[in-house]
Amino acid sequence: MKLLVKGLALAVLPLAVSMVWAADRKSETNTATTTYLQGGGSSLSGVEMYQSTDPTAPPMTKAEFDSGRQIYFDRCAGCHGVLRKGATGKALLPKDMQKLGTENLKVFVGYGTPGGMPGFGTSNELTEKEVELMSRYIQQTPPTPPEWGMKEMMASWKVLIPVEKRPTRKMNNINIDNVFSVTLRDTGEVALIDGDTKKIVAFIKTGFAVHISRISKSGRYLYTTGRDGLINLIDLWMETPQTVATLRTGSDARSIDTSKYKGYDDKIAIAGSYWPPAYVLMDGFTLKPLKIMSTRGYTYDEQEYHPEPRVASIVASHIKPEFVVNVKETGKVLLVDYSDMKNLKTTEIEAERFLHDGGWDSSKRYFLVAANMRNTVSVVDTKEGKLAANVKVGAKPHPGRGANWSDTQYGPVWATGHLGDDTVAVIGTDPAKHKDNAWKVVRSLKNHGSGSLFVKTHPKSRNLWADAALNPDAEVRQSVSVWDLKHLDKPAQVINLAKLAGITEGRTTHPEYNAKGDEVWFSVWGPKNGESALVVMDDKTRKLKTVIKDKRLITPTGKFNVHNTQYDVY
């Protein structure tokens, strides 16, 4: 492929946050081992869909179309949308793609762009043939996946161990409070790791590319959901923790949480889907689906109908019987009152497009969520049930849950990193005692590179850590920045964690503290046919404490500590 610099100025196909590492090459034998390494894909990839005939699009055989569809749903739909109308990534509308043409599109898909899209060819994630195939595929009319309603959900629902047959007390000696649930993206598993001993407790089969693990209010149950819409309910009290119920809420999903308000402990679960665009309320102990609520509707600003407003993130309120549901494409935050399921009350808040992920401030009254394609963080006052502010930040904020601390100069603050620049925005969060600083960027810290996915600190820590996992430079994406919260005027220390782990090819991502707040864990996310590791740093000394390696730890990404996830500590 020839790199057309002029072509790069024509359009930017933005960042595919859900990127995966190199697929097994075509030359490799598809043995049982390589099949295992490949893991599963989006459940949409195997669904038969109508292939339209567009005379202005380049021709594709049925086999080519199906292959392109699978690659698209596995790797591209998360950012560009199932119907390709755009969100974190630009819209990939057929007529616009046809104007660019196959040769220009091959450059974008193969080499990436300065605006943030990774090079799927240069990173060996796609072969040259696959790059050419995808360049033709995105010029076709997008196929529409089938819907998924209560009938399909009930058919998928399985209670493997009924409530009455589960333990009445904890049956193991694991310090559950300090267990980490680690996503193994490409094998369709989570690894449960004892944070005290650093030993692997169990490998549990889940859906493909678990996006998030959430803990029930009691700390007993672990919920996971991911790219194929499958939910696993895992009982941590069992002698060896295992799945006790499953449910598929749709074809693609990202978010799940459980009721945390006093008196509703563990009772209600909620999951949000990318396709179909909806959220589902379930029985928290069995996953039985109770109510499905569509999010299709009109954008808050232009009042245009959108057929695919995806549920990007959900958190449970600690001060009300409510879930905070963030709808990406319409720019609306929904406060869903679950106290009366028959007469469901929902407060609809106009925030900003395109909502992604976020977290609570330290008081757990205000929820801050990134509208990443509008370079904005929206602040929702969940006590009053209204928008508190829209705060302009850097390019494409991506906070994960963000990070809270009490700044020496500005009082309570919350921070986010950015996909599109090398800064960390620090926002004041205390309108009561620090009114002049509230809902403003009070500091802009310099990260060691752009492409940050997560920032993290802990109430017992004096450090702030940030990754740059999606940076195109190997040295940058393998490293992390760490700042002294008492001296934020000083530059960050930059540490290459992949080198500390002895791994030459990988991305360092997702800092997560242990329950005590004296260790911070990172994933060194290597190729799925290569080596990966978890790196444990001593938070006080910033020195390497432990490297956890196991041939079964394939493509580790997110890590969720039970205590910190249970109580929303970040």
State residue 42's pLDDT score.
Answer: 57
Express each pLDDT in 311-360 by its tens digit.
Answer: 999 999 999 999 999 999 999 999 999 999 999 999 999 999 999 999 99
Check whether residue 112 and residue 218 sit in a common domain. no
Check whether residue 35 and residue 63 sit in a common domain. yes
Domain contains 542:
no
- Give phi and psi for 37, each to the nearest 5: -65, -30
Distance separating alpha carbons of residues 535 and 198, to the nearest angstrom: 11
State residue 83's pLDDT score.
Answer: 87
Check whether residue 156 and residue 94 sit in a common domain. no
Tokens of 218: 């009691």
Check whether residue 12 and residue 102 sit in a common domain. yes
Domain contains 468:
no
Check whether residue 121 and residue 194 sit in a common domain. no
Query: What is the domain-level CATH number for residue 328?
Result: 2.140.10.20
The structure tokens 């949480």 sit at: 257
Domain contains 538:
no
State residue 73's pLDDT score.
Answer: 81
State residue 46's pLDDT score.
Answer: 62
State residue 226's pLDDT score.
Answer: 87
Domain contains 501:
no
DSSP bridge pairs for 443: 426
State residue 34's pLDDT score.
Answer: 23
The answer to whether residues 306 and 113 touch, using CB atoms and an 8 Å cutoff, is: no
State residue 80's pLDDT score.
Answer: 85
What share of the chain in percent tops pLDDT 70? 89
In angstroms, the Cα distances linking 402 to 22, 42, 418 are 29, 27, 11
- Tally of domains in the chain: 2
Check whether residue 124 and residue 157 sit in a common domain. no
Check whether residue 158 and residue 53 sit in a common domain. no
Q: Which bin fits 114, alpha (ψ -120 to 50), beta or left (φ > 0)?
A: alpha
Check whether residue 380 and residue 297 sit in a common domain. yes
Last residue of some domain: 95, 111, 137?
137
pTM listed for this prediction: 0.85
Least confident of 110-114, 130-134, 239-243, 271-275: 110-114
Mean pLDDT of 406-428: 98
The answer to whether residues 204 and 223 touch, using CB atoms and an 8 Å cutoff, is: no
Tokens of 255: 């978010």
The answer to whether residues 192 and 200 touch, using CB atoms and an 8 Å cutoff, is: yes
The answer to whether residues 182 and 213 touch, using CB atoms and an 8 Å cutoff, is: no
State residue 89's pLDDT score.
Answer: 78
Residue 279 has pLDDT above 90, yes or no: yes
> Mind giving me the DSSP string for 420-470?
SSSEEEEEE--TTT-GGGBTSEEEEEE-SSS----EE--TT-SEEEEE-TT
Last residue of some domain: 430, 457, 484?
457
Chain mean pLDDT for the chain: 90
The answer to whether residues 470 and 497 touch, using CB atoms and an 8 Å cutoff, is: no
Closest-CA residue to 90 (of 116, 126, 121): 116
pLDDT band at 20 (very low <50, low <70, confident <90, very high): very low
The answer to whether residues 559 and 180 touch, using CB atoms and an 8 Å cutoff, is: yes
Check whether residue 128 and residue 154 sit in a common domain. no
CA dihedral 42, 525, 357, 495 (to 10 degrees): -170
Helix 128-137 to helix 94-111 angle (10° resolution) is 160
The answer to whether residues 355 and 371 touch, using CB atoms and an 8 Å cutoff, is: yes
Tokens of 530: 């290569």
Domain contains 518:
no
Domain contains 142:
no
Express each pLDDT in 45-87 by its tens digit.
Answer: 566 666 777 889 999 999 999 899 888 887 788 778 888 887 7
Closest-CA residue to 508 (of 519, 517, 518, 521): 521
Check whether residue 176 and residue 246 sit in a common domain. yes
Helix 128-137 to helix 62-75 angle (10° resolution) is 90
Tokens of 284: 């928290």
Express each pLDDT in 479-538 by its tens digit.
Answer: 999 999 999 999 999 999 999 999 999 999 999 999 999 999 999 999 888 999 999 999
State residue 44's pLDDT score.
Answer: 61
DSSP bridge pairs for 78: none
Express each pLDDT in 101-157 by its tens digit.
Answer: 999 999 989 887 655 577 788 767 789 999 999 999 999 998 888 899 999 999 999
State residue 116's pLDDT score.
Answer: 58
Residues belonging to the active site: 76, 79-80, 117, 356, 398
Express each pLDDT in 160-205 by its tens digit.
Answer: 999 999 999 999 999 999 999 999 998 999 999 999 999 999 999 9
Tokens of 267: 């009772």
Distance separating alpha carbons of residues 322 and 337, to the nearest angstrom: 4
Check whether residue 90 and residue 239 sit in a common domain. no
Residue 474 has pLDDT above 80, yes or no: yes
Check whether residue 157 and residue 133 sit in a common domain. no
Residue 25 has pLDDT above 60, yes or no: no
Query: What is the domain-level CATH number for residue 83?
Result: 1.10.760.10
Domain contains 492:
no
Distance separating alpha carbons of residues 548 and 532, to the nearest angstrom: 9
State residue 47's pLDDT score.
Answer: 66
Last residue of some domain: 403, 428, 457?
457
Tokens of 170: 């904890």
Q: For residue 23, give its domain range.
A: 5-137
Higher pLDDT, 557 or 30: 557
Domain contains 569:
no
